[in-house]
Amino acid sequence: MGNVLELKGIEKTYFGAVDTKVLHGIDLAFEEGSFNSIIGQSGSGKSTLLNIIGTLDKPTKGLVFVDGQDTSKMGKMKLAKLRNQTIGFVFQFHYLLPEFTALENILMPIQISGKRVDGKTKAKAEELCELVGISEVRNNNSTKMSGGQQQRCAIARALMNQPKIILADEPTGNLDSDTTAQIYSLFRDVNAKLKTTFIIVTHDRRIAEEADRIVEIKDGRVFLDIKR
Amino acid sequence: MLSLRIALRFLTSSKVQTIGIALGIAVGISVQVFVGTLIISLQQSLVEATIGNAPHITVLAADDGLYIDDWQPYIQTIEGVGDVRDVSVSLSTNVLMNTPDDRTFPGLVRGFEIENSDGIYDISSRIYEGTAPDSNGEVLVGLENQEEYGLSIGDTLEVTLGNGSIQDVTISGFFDFEVATLNEGWVISNLGTVQSLLDEGDVVSAIEMQVGDPFSADSTAKKVEKAIASDKVVVSNWKTENEQLLGALAAQGQSSYMIQFFVIIAVFIAIASILAISVTQKSKQLGILKAMGITDVQSSLIFMFQGLFLGVIGGALGVGLGYGLFMGFIVGASSSISPFVDWGFIIGSGVMAVAASTIASMIPAVKSLRLNPIEVIRNG
């Protein structure tokens, strides 16, 4: 399969009283449908890298190609559209909108894309609820769900637009070990069924070892890149 | 529209905050409506009291002491001028009135075509006893003079004119203009009676009229002057004779504008600051929405819509509250102010609330533009 994501010479410097360079010329490519983990210690630059991959942050130097498109040439509007259509985000905190129900949160990416919520999209959202195991609480406000349910809901939301890439930053960082195992099993299922590319940032080496590829970032550089 | 739905959901999910903001706007707008309407009513009542029963424009003979003869053609000409209404004539002269018990009081005998003059002076409804003079030689006397000199209907008064001639008139009734100086100073009769007293023929001393918009009386007076186009007469209007009153009205109007200006500023600041806090409160939601692909314009619109809705709700409440307060004040105070409700002003106040809160919401809207999702995600 071809690469869905390519990073070429990515550098990132935070300018301030003291300039801090956090990424030093990262070159990486991720195959479509692959299941990847990025590991590294706190401050290694792994989350910065994920934000750059997700076009939430811009590299100081280097190019990011998402689905073959050079993101450096895109304006804010195009990047927003790219994120909505191609990338799904799962963060350590679920960031569900507390004013909306679980189902409404899951439907949000569809509405952002400007499409109407019809029976078909609703059925798809229901299907995703089923897939992540939150059907019973789908009409609850996000504040009336357990931590695990909230994170599952966030995963269903990330999947709603059938993105090619799911970027997950410490997605189980706030969950107990049983729920963590369930979430990773869910990621694996989705990866197998929908051929969605997963890039998961974690500091937990045991979790990372479940992935097909482990990229270790150390001091802003690729220290290890192991494919199984 | 997504921004609209999110805005509504943000507002309905924080009901207490939403009600608080809307009430804040409502109180501000109600003060504006109450104060504004009260001042407008005060001005109208003052103007009504001053010129409601007085001519707005008067045509007089160019030379003092002379009368206007050949006045009928002028009437026709004047009636053709737009905005002019209730054109009538009067003939007045200063006299001394000698009562049956041989007491004397000075008076201005005013001769009217009573039916026509009613449009200005409303004489018929001011007669509280007796009838209007319907034949020559009859007069109406004011309340204060009736009480002071113990006069009755049918009493004969001896009228001494400036040239020394003396004639008798009969009292046909009594009037009360609710203004002591008029009641004491005027003796009212029909035009024919005063013409025969003066013995100057078919003359009048003034052609009087009211206009639709009293505040345009000066420009209408110019039109009347132009239409008449005669150097035998001069045209005056109430505004030139009441400059002090006009100055007071203008000052009152300016104070009203000042109050309204500061109320709107307060509404503006309140909305801008509360919604700006709301951007911080909702920064997580905005951050994730931006990460999911919401555009800057859409995120700004969320706050613009909130401002719009708060303005509509607060404005409507404020207009209702302000109007209610005003009517309550008028009824409760049982004041002599007649309520004058300027719907243009009231609706304008509501619209201003909507405009101010929508414009104020641009400040948080711009703040939301600058919100970087990474900051939110990084800080959890």
HEC string of chain B equals: CHHHHHHHHHHHHCHHHHHHHHHHHHHHHHHHHHHHHHHHHHHHHHHHHHHCCCCCEEEEECCCCCCECCCHHHHHHHHCCCCEEEEEEEEEEEEEEECCCCCEEEEEEEEECHHHHHHHHCHHHHEEEECCCCCCCEEEEEHHHHHHHCCCCCCEEEEEECCCCEEEEEEEEEECCCCHHHHHHEEEEEHHHHHHHHCCCCCECEEEEEECCHHHHHHHHHHHHHHHCCCCEEEEEHHHHCHHHHHHHHHHHHHHHHHHHHHHHHHHHHHHHHHHHHHHHCHHHHHHHHHCCCCHHHHHHHHHHHHHHHHHHHHHHHHHHHHHHHHHHHHHCCCCCCCCCCHHHHHHHHHHHHHHHHHHCHHHHHHHHHCCHHHHHHHC
User: How much is the pLDDT for B141?
Assistant: 94
Q: Mind telling me how many Å the CA of B1 is from chain A's nearest CA? A: 8
Is the Cβ of A185 closer than 8 Å to some Cβ of chain B? no
CB of A12 within 8 Å of a chain B CB? The answer is no
Reported confidence tier of residue B32, pLDDT bands at 50, 70, 90:
confident
User: What is the interface pTM, i.e. ipTM, of the complex?
Assistant: 0.86
Residue B208 CB: number of other CB atoms within 10 A? 25
CB proximity B289 to A under 8 Å: yes
Tell which of B297, B301, B377, B378 to mutate to test the A interface (max A CBs under 10 Å). Answer: B377
Are A51 and B374 an interchain contact pair (Cβ–Cβ within 8 Å)? yes
Model confidence at B379: pLDDT above 70 = no
pLDDT tens, residue by residue, B143-195: 999 999 999 999 999 999 888 888 899 999 999 988 888 899 999 999 999 99
pLDDT by 10s per residue, chain A, length 228: 688 999 999 999 989 888 889 999 899 999 999 999 999 888 888 888 888 999 988 999 999 999 889 998 898 889 999 999 899 988 878 888 888 999 999 999 999 988 888 999 999 899 889 888 888 998 998 889 988 899 889 988 988 888 999 998 888 877 778 878 888 888 888 898 888 999 999 887 877 888 999 999 998 899 989 887
Q: Does A144 reach chain B within 8 Å, measured CB to CB?
A: no
**pLDDT computed for residue A29 by the predictor:** 93
Contact state of B5 with A111 under an 8 Å Cβ cutoff: yes
B-chain residues within 8 Å CB-CB of A57? 374
A97, closest residue in chain B (CA to CA): B285
Residue pair A54/A7 in contact (Cβ under 8 Å)? The answer is no
Nearest CA in chain A to B284: A95
Q: Using CA coordinates, name the residue in chain A closest to B282.
A: A97
Q: Does A194 touch chain B (CB under 8 A)?
A: no
The answer to whether A111 contacts chain B (CB < 8 Å) is yes
Q: What is the pLDDT of residues B183-227, one digit of tens each?
A: 999 999 999 999 988 888 889 999 999 988 888 888 999 999 998
User: Edge-to-edge, what's the strand order for the sheet holding A20-31?
Assistant: A20-31, A3-14, A61-66, A69-70
* Residue B266 Cα, gap to closest chain A Cα (Å): 29
- Chain A partners within 8 Å of B290 (Cβ): 80
A56 touches chain B (CB under 8 A): yes
Amino acid at B8: L
Q: Is the pTM of this model over 0.90?
A: no
pLDDT of residue A63: 93
Q: What DSSP designation does A14 have?
A: E
What pLDDT is stored for residue A59 in this prediction?
93
Q: Which of B3, B282, B288 to mutate to test the interface with A (most CBs of A within 10 A)?
A: B288
Interface residue A147 vs chain B (CB under 8 A): no
Q: Is the pLDDT of residue B103 over 60?
A: yes
Report how far residue B32's alpha carbon sits from residue B263's, in angstroms, rounded to the nearest whole number: 7
A47 vs B contacts (CB less than 8 Å): 378
Using the Cβ of A99 and the Cβ atoms of chain B, whether some distance falls under 8 Å is answered with yes
Domain layout of chain A by residue ranges:
3-227
- Give residue-wise pLDDT tens across range B21-31: 888 889 888 98
- Specify the CATH superfamily of domain A3-227: P-loop containing nucleotide triphosphate hydrolases (3.40.50.300)
Closest partner residue to B294 (CB to CB) among A80, A99, A100 is A80
Distance from CA of A228 to the nearest CA of B (A): 31
Residue B328 predicted with pLDDT over 70 = yes
Least CB–CB distance from A97: residue in B12, B285, B296: B285
Give the nearest partner residue to B291 out of A85, A89, A100, using CB atoms.
Answer: A89
Beta-carbon separation of A51 and B377 below 8 A = yes
Residue B380 has pLDDT above 60, yes or no: no
Question: Are A47 and B293 an interchain contact pair (Cβ–Cβ within 8 Å)?
Answer: no
Which of B107-111, B267-271, B296-300 is predicted most confidently? B107-111
Give the mutation candidate from B292, B369, B378, B379 for the A interface (greatest A CB count, under 10 A). B292
Identify each DSSP E strand in A32-157 by its residue range.
35-39, 61-66, 69-70, 87-90
Q: Does A57 touch chain B (CB under 8 A)?
A: yes
Q: Find the residue in A nearest to B2 (Cα).
A: A111
